Amino acid sequence: MTSKTWFLYIIECTDGSLYTGITVDVEARYAAHCNGTGARYTRSHPPARLVGFETHPDRSSASKAEYRIKRLSSVEKRRYAALLATKQKP
């Protein structure tokens, strides 16, 4: 059995807040958030843009990373999101 690559992603919402989640398909999950079928949080805080994502070898490590990011202060989370954004640029 091959393991799937998991992704941790951060979305900036229209109110400026940041949403962090995990998925195996970033594009499909972001589309779900945009059309209102994603997380409850993004239904009331619509997404403005996908800030960035990072890969993880399995769900466990992605979940641990998500937990770690969600425990950061707002300033620290923004700093981390900025790092992810720079990794996504060619």
The full set of domain ranges for the chain reads 6-88
Alpha-helical (H) ranges within the chain are 26-34, 40-44, 59-70, 74-88
Report pLDDT for 32.
Answer: 97
d(CA 22, CA 62): 6
**Ramachandran angles phi, psi of 83, nearest 5°:** -65, -45
Question: Residue with structure tokens 């690559």?
Answer: 5
Which superfamily is assigned to 6-88 in CATH?
A: GIY-YIG endonuclease (3.40.1440.10)
pTM of the model: 0.91
Blockwise average pLDDT, block size 10, the chain, 90 residues? 87 96 97 95 96 96 97 94 78
